[in-house]
């Protein structure tokens, strides 16, 4: 029986009007390693995982979740190819790929009580290319365009990629993994803080950020003061109006939030600069392993 983690997250699958819930990541670690050692001649077959204690339901869940990753990559590829896409749209599509890739990585954990599989900055881009950038089609009048990678070929690539990641992960010490996690955590905190400042485009529309909210409140305050003064109320008295006092408090709150977000960005950038050399050394080691050197 494999000692790999069985992710307790779930995904709902709709098929022929029937809905069922299954685990999203089967205990595939042993099978992934065996396939890597064999040179990944093809995507892993259901008949090849029985020795690892993987049930048909678990294997089906595995293929379903890899397919879910492929679809997310395809959608991300469309956003990347669309030159009118905003940064927020790119970040949203990339985030969906990240979420699914991180779940795939959990199938590579050796100990579910001490998860330590690392991620890399370019992982989302790598799996996107697997899904949309491996082959091209030549269309008359248009030229060469990326074609979508078939499901089985994509899964073979992902299984090899995960196997190499398991191998690289085993070669790292805890300190190296900690450096990677903190480095990427700093990068993520910068993106999150920037998102808080500038807002984001979601499927439900644009969500204003702190800077937009600040500008809106400041204009409302200035317009309200001007209106009160225009009807004969002196400016000092106008500022003491309860509504103006509340606006001032709200502006102060947002100012504090903007300062906090800016501080987060500054501290994260400092950490990245201080640890860049160490991070680059670790990544160089991983690159050699994942390249089979």
Q: Please report, for the chain, the start and end positions of each structural domain, with discontinuous segments joined by +.
A: 1-171, 173-293
* C-alpha of 191 from chain center: 11
pTM over 0.75: no
Cβ-based burial of 70 (10 A; exposed 0-12, middle 13-18, buried ≥19): buried
pLDDT tens, the chain, 293 aa long = 333 332 333 333 333 333 334 344 447 888 999 999 999 999 999 988 887 788 888 899 899 999 999 999 999 988 888 888 888 788 888 889 988 998 898 888 887 777 788 888 789 899 998 898 655 556 666 565 557 888 999 999 999 999 999 999 888 898 998 999 899 899 889 988 998 998 877 667 778 999 999 999 999 999 999 999 999 999 999 999 999 999 999 999 999 999 999 999 999 999 999 999 999 999 998 888 887 66
**CA 164, chain centre distance (Å):** 20
Tell me the CA distances in angstroms from 81 to 7, 72, 85, one per residue in order: 33, 14, 8
What's the rounded Cα separation, in Å, for the pair 211 and 214? Answer: 5
pLDDT, position 182: 93
Residues 6+ apart with CB under 8 A from 126: 161
**Dist CA 289 CA 128 (whole Å):** 21
| Residue 216 Cα distances to 200, 254, 262, angstroms | 16, 11, 20
pLDDT score of 153? 92
Q: Give the tokens for residue 116.
A: 């330590």
Spatial contact of 209 and 88, defined as CB atoms under 8 Å apart: no
Paired strand residues for 13: 20
Cα radius of gyration rounded to whole Å, the chain: 25
Q: How far apart (Å, rounded) are the C-alpha atoms in residues 119 and 132?
A: 21
Helix, strand and coil content of the chain, in percent to the nearest 5, comes to 65, 10, 25
CB 93 within 8 A of CB 76: yes
pLDDT recorded at residue 293: 60
pLDDT for the residue 12: 32
Buried b (16+ CB within 10 A) or exposed e, 20-42: eebbbbbbbbbbbbebbeeebee
């Amino acid at each position: 029986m494999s000692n790999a983690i069985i992710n307790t997250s779930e995904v709902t699958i709709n098929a022929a009007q029937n809905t069922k819930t299954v685990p999203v990541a089967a205990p595939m670690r042993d099978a992934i390693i065996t396939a890597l050692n064999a040179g990944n001649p093809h995507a892993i077959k259901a008949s090849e995982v029985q020795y690892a204690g993987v049930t048909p339901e678990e294997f089906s869940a595995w293929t379903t979740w890899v397919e879910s990753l492929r679809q997310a990559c395809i959608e991300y590829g469309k956003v990347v190819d669309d030159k009118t896409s905003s940064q927020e749209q790119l970040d949203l599509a990339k985030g969906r790929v990240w979420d699914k890739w991180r779940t795939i990585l959990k199938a590579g954990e050796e100990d579910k009580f001490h998860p330590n599989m690392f991620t890399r900055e370019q992982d989302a881009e790598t799996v996107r290319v697997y899904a949309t950038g491996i082959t091209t089609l030549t269309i008359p009048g248009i030229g060469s365009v990326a074609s979508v990678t078939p499901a089985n070929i994509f899964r073979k690539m992902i299984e090899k990629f995960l196997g190499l990641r398991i191998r690289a992960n085993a070669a790292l010490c805890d300190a190296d993994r900690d450096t990677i996690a903190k480095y990427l955590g700093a990068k993520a905190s910068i993106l999150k803080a920037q998102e808080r400042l500038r807002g984001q485009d979601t499927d439900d529309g644009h969500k204003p950020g702190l800077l937009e909210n600040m500008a809106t409140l400041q204009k409302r305050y200035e317009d309200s003061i001007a209106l009160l003064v225009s009807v004969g109320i002196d400016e000092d008295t106008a500022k003491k109006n309860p509504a103006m006092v509340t606006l001032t408090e709200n502006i102060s709150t947002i100012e504090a939030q903007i300062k906090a977000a800016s501080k987060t960005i500054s501290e994260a950038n400092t950490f990245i600069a201080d640890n860049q050399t160490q991070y680059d050394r670790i990544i160089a080691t991983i690159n050699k392993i994942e390249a089979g050197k």
